Amino acid sequence: RGQALWHVAAWPVLREPYRLASRHFAFEGRCFVLAVATCLKKEELLAAVPAGEKAARAFLDSVPVDEDGFLLEGGVAAYAPDGRPLAAHAAEKGGLHLFEVNPAQALEAAANLDVAGHYSRPDIITLQLRESKA
């Protein structure tokens, strides 16, 4: 109760630093994390640029794409509340991914590492900063 069960991490791409950040968030937040990356074709981006924006269109035309015309090929990864990967990273260029999870894992993980709970004792511990010289 009161604990987040899911976090959706939306990234431009799912390179290793983004996967690592998502895994860390799962571990520290003790929640499931679904990391998703943008899936975008050059033609979709060009369609959003007004015809009069010749410099922008010329720049986009110069950007290389893969054999299917993708600028960003998307991707998905999922992590358990203890940081374990639930599914390997997949750059799918769109698609549907299903993950089966057990919500009790989040509660169990929170009991193992409660970052603001059982060892946080503001009633007996305080931190004070004295700015004057002793």
Residue 9 and residue 3: Cα distance in Å, rounded?
17
Residue partners of 43: CB distance under 8 A and separation at least 6? 69
Q: Among all chains, which residue has been given the structure tokens 């599914």? A: 87
Tens of each residue's pLDDT in the chain, 134 residues: 556 788 999 999 988 999 999 999 998 888 899 999 999 999 999 999 998 999 999 999 999 998 989 999 888 999 999 999 987 667 677 777 777 888 888 777 776 666 666 566 677 777 788 888 86
User: What is the reported pTM?
Assistant: 0.71
Domains of the chain: 6-112 (3.60.110.10)
Task: Please provide the size of the chain in residues.
Answer: 134
Upper half-sphere CA count for residue 85 (Cβ side, 13 Å): 9
CB 20 within 8 A of CB 33: no
Nearest to 36 by CA among 84, 72, 81: 72
